[in-house]
Amino acid sequence: MAEDGLSEGGSAAALAVVLRPVTAADLDRFEAEFAGPHGPGPYQWYGHTPALRVRQALADRGLLGGDENMLSVAVGDTLVGRVEWLRRAWGRADTSSCWEIAIGLFAEHRGRGIGTRAQRQLVEYLFEHTRAERVQVCTDADNIAEQRAVVKAGFELEGRIRRAQWRAGAWHDQLIYSALRTP
């Protein structure tokens, strides 16, 4: 999955953003970087959770080819975060499934257009390698940076899902965006 060459956020130099399979060392870094409420940022901290299930999925299937998948995001040779895609359904799963994507970037790499590029690349990958007609993103109604990133990545706002996510001791509204396969 090659970089698209676009410069975003006023940056003069385009960054070579690549998606690649996750390694055990990547998982170690994700655990270190995203541990605690300050690591992942205010919209991704859900409390402490065990990493055993993710490590087992890495050992069993490389975190690929299932209903919950993950790739590492790198700029050149530098690991900067991860993207995930999860199967969702709007009706019967065997006929009405789609992918929902998510991203987590390390704090020092946010705000540089990397998230936009990584999410765009993931959508292209999913449309090229799966039967999905739809890819969706849900983000906190206050997460302006992610809202801008997904619009730049080609998503369209569909609506608000009220009090859909429990985080930090309160319910939070989510906004849902979608990208559809083009003929």
Domain ranges of the chain: 17-134
- pLDDT at position 38 is 65
Question: Is residue 51's pLDDT more than 90?
Answer: no
Question: Quick one: which H or E segment has residue 35?
Answer: none
What digits encode the pLDDT tens for the residues 69-125? Answer: 999 999 999 999 999 999 999 999 889 999 999 999 999 999 999 999 999 999 999
Query: What's this model's pTM, rounded to 2 decimal places?
Result: 0.88
Calculate what percentage of the chain has a pLDDT beyond 90. 75
Tokens 């990547």, located at residue? 26
Closest CA to 153 of 83, 78, 81: 83
DSSP state of 141: T
- pLDDT at position 21 is 98
17-134 maps to which CATH number?
3.40.630.30
Q: What is the mean pLDDT of the chain?
A: 89
Please, how many CA atoms are within 13 Å of residue 140, restricted to the half-sphere of its CB?
A: 17
- pLDDT at position 2 is 41
Q: What is the dihedral of CA 33, 77, 111, 125, to 10 degrees?
A: -100
- pLDDT at position 66 is 95
Which residues on neighbouring strands pair with residue 159, listed in sequence order?
176
Q: Which is more confident, 8 or 113?
A: 113
**Separation between Cα atoms, residue 157 and residue 17, nearest integer Å:** 25
